[in-house]
Amino acid sequence: MRRIPLMIIILLIMLSCSMSLLAQNERYVMRSPRAMGMGGAGLAVLSPDHVFFYNPAQLNRLTRNKFTLVDARICFNKNLLDQLDFYNKYSEQIKNLNDFSDDETSAFFDEASEIIKKRVIAEFAGPVPINLVVRNFGVGFFTGAAVDYRMKTGASSIPLVNAAFQADFLVVGSLAHGFSGPFPGKLSVGGTVKYMNRWISYKMQSVTDLDNQLVVFSGKTIGVDLATLYSIKRLAFGFTIFDVNSPTIAYQANQSSLNDSTSIVVAPNGKVEPSLRCGLAYYPKKSLIPIFSRNVIALDIEQPFDGDLTFFKKLYFGFEGTLASVFRLRVGFAQGYASFGAGIDLSVILIDYAFYGQEWGGYAGQVPNWNHLIRFKLGF
């Protein structure tokens, strides 16, 4: 009986903290293709892959130990493919621009201008983010890199290159604990401590003055996530407060790159604000579609108390079904956009894919960003 007040206090403290949370800056997260194929919903979906970056309380529900040796993930948006298609389409013509007529030259640059203005993002994680998860405990290290660039029109209509580069190294440890008592269902709480070392660089120059000099900033920080998971019968509910300690990355410029640069450099904002995400998962007793087994329906809501975000920008919803025990098919709805995914799980080898949309604007449907996410994992 003494355990009930303690659990209530823990839940109330975590929820009261979340009431004042605002939208946070970008934090490092290794996206799960399983979750992204289900519209981004994964916080309450039981999976060893969701422990470190979704909900560490899930460690208390593990039935098998998992050791990952290789985990390579690549994510890129549709804008990158559009630019590659444009280059392939005009690769020969680009070599002979002088032979173009005035009308052909004008049409070429009009199309090129529209293509290169699109924002491109490419991310890579792995290939060796080794990690181990056992019941109530998980530890691992993760690496990731990303590039984000676009072209803008500057003074005198001269194009500007605006690019950002980022690399991350993380050491992560997670713990969980389950509570029992005279109440239905099961409650688990968990926490994650993340040590992160980040390198970041920005580049904004006109194409006529473009050079290869980069000022590299580096910083370190420690972040803390707190989570809970409550399940009763076939229903699971949980929430996670990410970066509850409001960590700050104290960036410093690399001295050698600073000496080589003639530009005025300003360190990026290293503040990482806390954020809250709630999740719900339901495992139907009967298959919703006859050919599928082990169905799951999931719903996540991000920053539910942030009045600056529209409802559909907070909403993530999806479904997963398993076919012949090894094939997984997923559909979902993320921030107002459809998503789908597929995977092959052979226990030792896992191959996953997801196609999903993100909203870059202030409301769903304003500025869509379509992404491809591919994963290959080898583990035991």
Q: What is the pLDDT of residues 44-92, one digit of tens each?
A: 999 999 999 999 999 999 989 999 999 999 999 999 999 888 888 877 7
Percent of the chain with pLDDT strictly greater than 70: 83
**Cis bond leading into 159, ω under 30°?**
no
Asked if 225 contacts 194 with a C-beta cutoff of 8 angstroms, the reply is: yes
What pLDDT sits at residue 95?
A: 67
What pLDDT sits at residue 211?
A: 64
Mean of per-residue pLDDT scores for the chain: 85
What pLDDT sits at residue 260?
A: 54
What pLDDT sits at residue 227?
A: 98
| Structure confidence by residue, pLDDT tens digits, 168-204 | 999 999 999 999 877 789 999 999 999 999 999 888 7
CA dihedral (250, 255, 257, 261) positive or negative? positive
Domains of the chain and CATH, by start: 3-379 (2.40.160)
Dihedral through CA 23, CA 24, CA 27, CA 30, nearest 10?
-20
What pLDDT sits at residue 5?
A: 47
**CA nearest to 216, candidates 236, 200, 194, 235:** 200
What pLDDT sits at residue 258?
A: 54
Backbone angles phi, psi at 46, to 5 degrees: -65, 120
What average pLDDT does this structure show over 112-137? 88
Instruction: Assess whether pLDDT exceeds 70 at residue 299.
Output: yes
| Structure confidence by residue, pLDDT tens digits, 301-330 | 999 998 888 899 999 999 999 998 899 999
